[in-house]
Amino acid sequence: MTVIVRDFRPADAEDWVRVRRAVLPFMVTTPEQVAFDLDTAHPDKRYRLLVAEEDGEVIGTAQVGLAHESPEPGQSFCNPYIHPERTGRGAGTLLLRTAEEYLALAGATTVYTWVLDTPGDLAFAAKHGYAPSRPAHFLHLDLAGATLPPRQGLPSGVELRTAADFAGDPRPLFEADAETTADEPSDTPALLADYEEWLTETWRSPGLDHDLTSVVVADGEVAAFSVAETDGVDRYWSGMTGTRRAYRDRGLAKLAKNDSLHRARDAGYTDAYTGNDAGNGPMLAINRWFGYEICATEVRHVRTIG
């Protein structure tokens, strides 16, 4: 049996999702989203999808590219995952080697990767020269069975809307996303400065549910929001919950997220997932208030190359 690594093909989309769901069942992944992300990636990202194949079966995947929105040049990422029933065949090593060679030629000097917090995965990362950086948690909420906080009355001057209400002009949402993303804990901070790129990659993403994404408007300005990404069936993911600096410490993030969760449950979604940096105490507290529980942990790792 021979393992090979090659570029993703459109016909691989279903297999890609099969592998990812086996490894990360708490992530919302669809074939349409995988193909969309590849097709719309900015050229400076040098985005590439790799698959590991054994005798015609896709057993592993990897997302590879440059952190082109970071103000620090040379940063890159590679996230390889192997189907749990197909480990020990060398597929992970081959994916990683192929990705690192590609990234080095693209000008990368550091590679970041997410590693599941299991003995085997951590040992694999250490063996290949990756050092741990920071942990992050996946959290799950049984949306069908949970008792969500009741909807509260809105403060004076505050309105609840959805992303769909901004279909004619989503720029206010872009500006709010850019500001909150700049403040998000990250070892590869991103500066969102290209509105057209944001429209292409984020606003038009097939996974973004405009009707379930809740937006808090205060005195006519977008103040906070909670992004909803779904698989169109039963899984809901909080892509980002943020509050603009001038409106923080007023409970608006909770207001937005609660509204989005209620909308999602009413729409028939049964499982809600989200991710939090382990050091982001305020957001972890909010999610625990909603009833989320940690279901898995990944550890960010980094390696110098080139």
Q: What is the pLDDT of residue 183?
A: 82
At position 46, the amino acid (one-letter code) is R
Asked if 68 and 174 sit in the same domain, the reply is no
Q: What is the pLDDT of residue 26?
A: 93
At position 281, the amino acid (one-letter code) is G
At position 223, the amino acid (one-letter code) is A
Q: What is the pLDDT of residue 283?
A: 83
Q: Of 199, 228, 230, 238, which Cα lies nearest the Cα of 42?
A: 199
CB 136 within 8 A of CB 275: yes
Query: What CATH number does the domain containing 277 carry?
Result: 3.40.630.30
Q: What is the pLDDT of residue 230?
A: 97
Q: Which residues in 143-198 belong to E strands, given as ranges?
A: 158-162
Considering the entire predicted model, what is its pTM?
0.93
Residue numbers of the domain that contains 248: 141-296
Q: Is the pLDDT assigned to residue 85 strictly greater than 80?
A: yes
Half-sphere exposure of 213 (CA within 13 A, CB side): 26
Q: What is the pLDDT of residue 279?
A: 87
User: Cα separation of 21 and 38, whole Å?
Assistant: 18
For the chain, give the percent of residues with pLDDT over 70.
Answer: 99
Q: What is the pLDDT of residue 1?
A: 67
CB 215 within 8 A of CB 177: no
Q: What is the pLDDT of residue 250?
A: 93
Q: Is the pLDDT assigned to residue 189 strictly greater than 70?
A: no
Asked if 104 and 170 sit in the same domain, the reply is no
Give the orientation angle of helix 13-23 with respect to helix 31-40, to 10 degrees. 110
Domain count, the chain: 2
Asked if 54 and 196 sit in the same domain, the reply is no
Asked if 217 and 100 sit in the same domain, the reply is no
Q: Are strands 110-116 and 75-82 parallel, antiparallel or unpaired?
A: parallel
In a domain, 240, yes or no: yes
Asked if 151 and 260 sit in the same domain, the reply is yes
pLDDT per residue as tens digits for the range 9-59: 999 999 999 999 999 999 999 999 999 999 999 999 999 999 999 999 999
User: Cα separation of 301 and 125, whole Å?
Assistant: 8
Q: Is the pLDDT assigned to residue 187 strictly greater than 80?
A: no
Q: Of 251, 226, 249, which Cα lies nearest the Cα of 239?
A: 226
Asked if 9 and 70 sit in the same domain, the reply is yes
Asked if 173 and 291 sit in the same domain, the reply is yes
User: Cα separation of 14 and 214, whole Å?
Assistant: 30
Q: What is the pLDDT of residue 215?
A: 98
In a domain, 118, yes or no: no
In a domain, 128, yes or no: no
Asked if 104 and 229 sit in the same domain, the reply is no
In a domain, 304, yes or no: no
Domain boundary among 108, 131, 149: 108
In a domain, 124, yes or no: no
Q: Is the pLDDT assigned to residue 76 strictly greater than 80?
A: yes
Give the pLDDT mean for 1-6: 91
Q: Of 284, 159, 289, which Cα lies nearest the Cα of 224?
A: 159
Give the pLDDT mean for 264-288: 93
Asked if 284 and 207 sit in the same domain, the reply is yes
Asked if 158 and 93 sit in the same domain, the reply is no
Give the pLDDT mean for 158-175: 98
Give the pLDDT mean for 69-96: 95
In a domain, 113, yes or no: no
Q: Of 23, 123, 139, 42, which Cα lies nearest the Cα of 81?
A: 23
CB 114 within 8 A of CB 300: yes
Give the pLDDT mean for 150-162: 94
Burial class from Cβ neighbours inside 10 Å (0-12, 13-18, 19+) for residue 281 reads exposed
In a domain, 301, yes or no: no
Asked if 43 and 177 sit in the same domain, the reply is no
pLDDT per residue as tens digits for the range 208-241: 999 999 999 999 999 999 999 999 999 999 988 9
Asked if 178 and 273 sit in the same domain, the reply is yes
User: Cα separation of 155 and 254, whole Å?
Assistant: 13
In a domain, 133, yes or no: no
